[in-house]
Chain A
Amino acid sequence: MLQKPRSRGRSSAQAEKDKEWSPGRVTRVPSGGVAEEAPSTSRGPGGSQEALSSASQAARRAQAAPSAGPRTQKQLELKVAELVQFLLIKDQKKIPIKRTDIMKHVVGDYKDIFPDLLKLAAQRLQYVFGYQLVELEPKSNTYILINTLEPVEEDAEVRGDQGTPTTGLLMIVLGLIFMKGNTIKETEVWDFLRRLGVYPTKKHLIFGDPKKLITEDFVRQRYLEYRRIPHTDPVDYEFQWGPRTNLETSKMKVLKFVAKVHNQDPKDWPAQYCEALADEENRARPAPEPSGQAPSS
């Protein structure tokens, strides 16, 4: 019979575990101290208890009370792992990840090597998952993950969520904005959507609350910019593409989507086609590297 971990009174074990239950935190106590040898991945019954035990013990010892001095390979590896997991989880919600949040929740004691940690995490994200870590806008100190794998129509059949906007309400709005010259009034958006049976005030079977989706969710996710137009009465707002849209898709892709919907060719809109071509040329030039450096004082 397997040995169970040392028995401890529930209250003391609970108290220690309570430290790990804080919401929004991926890591618990600041790292330091000496770590164990490599945790083994568990396979099959029986043996897994010990394997899991050593993995978590190794992890927890690596996270033990802070101490000065050089960090071990294991500690660094764990820190990078935590950073990768943090970035993945945060990006799933499509909310740009702030550097301050990364510092607060993951980096902790390792502030001094933050740029290197970020670079390593970015490497792993690219090699293992095919995600590229990019800064939303230069010097914004917020990051998003871009998928380097092209989404494929059949993905929709095997995935467990809705994925990024290849179809759906957002794509329609993005198309509208681009075709109307990169900026459009909110009233015009609803005039158009009404024709599709989507209303700002009515609950929609698929989109739920379209008004909230377009003016709040997509804006918070940085797909859209939503600005009040001054001196309008009644108040009107205007929409533009947000920084995430430019990173995740392109004018050409959106134009092709619009063309497909109309069963036409992108070249049928010469002005937009020219603009999309110019955009493609701009993209072909290498993008600046995301900076892990703190802004210089």
Chain B
Amino acid sequence: MPNSLICCTPFLQKFPSYMQSSARRMGIMTDVHRRFLQLLMTHGVLEERDVKRLQKHCYEVHDRNATVEKLEDFINNINSVLESLYIEIKKGVTEDDGRPFYALVNLATTSVSKMATDFAENELDLFRKALELIIDSETGFASSTNILNLVDQLKGKKMRKKEAEQVLQKFVQNKWLIEKEGEFTLHGRAILEMEQYIWETYPDATKMCNICHRLLIQGQSCETCGIRMHLPCVAKYFQSNPEPHCPHCNDYWPHEIPEVFDPEKEREAGISKLNKKSLRSRQH
């Protein structure tokens, strides 16, 4: 069936330069990229390991014999096409254990526009209240109790605490919040998408990592001078340093240096598992 939607000559005559410049800027989309994008959209946010699996699947469907392009280049190509749509596949790292992930973020507005169409006014306001508590907190976590106590102040339709509990769970399921032992913090995806919004809306309360200068919700802080660092940033900065000192005031760093995700270690673990398996099978 011919695609009768392509040509719109009258419009082209009015704005010819618009079409030309987009063609120049764009990368190339093939069905491999389209299927990848479609399926990525069903997740919203996805761990790097699963993104690689997804990419491989798309090659297998459309272009079996081609070499799978390096993920970073593959995504950069798609992003160059998405740029004019004000969408981007952004890479982030989880604040607690440094796992890389990819999220589709909206660049067109600084507010949570994807959320805005998925949630009701009072639900969005509940999220905003939780967000404020999280940003104001010392640990980056807000307790369920404290959030629920604000239920009466919400805009829109009146919400009961029971209902609010369910809405909070909806936020967790949709990967805007993470829950740990009855406390809530921001999911990495929310940080990626709303980072700019948070900086602009809460300039005094927002915390920053001393190492990477990105927004910080969870992290470690120096008890002397108060600077903060993300857990993965701490791990990287102090790696194999037996006596960690604060990079700012040089005082002894009082916290345990965390173990974070290391892609090399994961691969080696996978390979050693395979070796063990083949040893076993040879013994039969």
Contact = CB atoms under 8 A, between A and B. Distances in A.
A41 B88 contact: yes
Contact of B42 (A60, A73, A76, A163): A163
Interface string B99-137: 000000011111111101111110111001000000000
A127 B33 CA distance: 10
Nearest to B62: A149
Contacts of B111: 17, 20-21, 28
A198 B44 CA distance: 32
B248 to A, nearest CB: 11
A15 to B, nearest CB: 11
A160 B38 contact: no
Contacts of B120: 23
A85 B85 contact: yes
A284 B204 CA distance: 62
Interface string A108-133: 00000100100110111011111111
Contact of A2 (B39, B84, B117, B213): B213
Given A45-B212, A59-B108, A128 B37 contact: yes
A133 B3 CA distance: 11
Contacts, number: 209
Interface stretch (A49-57, A210-218, A248-256): A49-57
Contacts of B237: none
B201 interface: yes
Given A17-B111, A84-B85, A85-B108, A286 B2 contact: yes
A16 to B, nearest CB: 9
B61 interface: yes
B166 to A, nearest CB: 16
Contacts of A246: none
Contact of A126 (B5, B82, B212, B213): B5
B43 interface: yes
A126 B34 CA distance: 9
A52 B214 CA distance: 12
A23 B8 contact: no
B8 A59 contact: no
B250 interface: no
A113 B156 CA distance: 34
A181 to B, nearest CB: 28
Contacts of B41: 88, 92, 129
A25 B35 CA distance: 27
B57 A73 contact: no
A67 B85 CA distance: 23
B161 interface: no
A60 B61 CA distance: 40
Interface centre among B10, B81, B111 (most CB of A within 10 A): B111
Interface of B: 1-6, 8, 10-11, 14-15, 17-18, 21-22, 29, 31, 34-35, 37-39, 41-44, 46, 50, 53-54, 57, 60-61, 79, 81-88, 90, 106-114, 116-121, 123-125, 128, 156, 195-197, 199-204, 208, 212-214
29 contacts: A4-B203, A5-B203, A7-B204, A8-B203, A17-B111, A23-B156, A24-B116, A25-B113, A26-B117, A28-B111, A42-B90, A59-B86, A60-B110, A73-B17, A82-B86, A85-B108, A85-B113, A89-B117, A89-B118, A126-B3, A129-B37, A130-B35, A132-B5, A155-B57, A158-B39, A160-B46, A283-B1, A286-B1, A290-B5
Given A21-B128, A27-B109, A290-B5, 9 more contacts: A21-B111, A56-B107, A59-B109, A73-B18, A85-B85, A123-B8, A149-B35, A160-B39, A286-B2
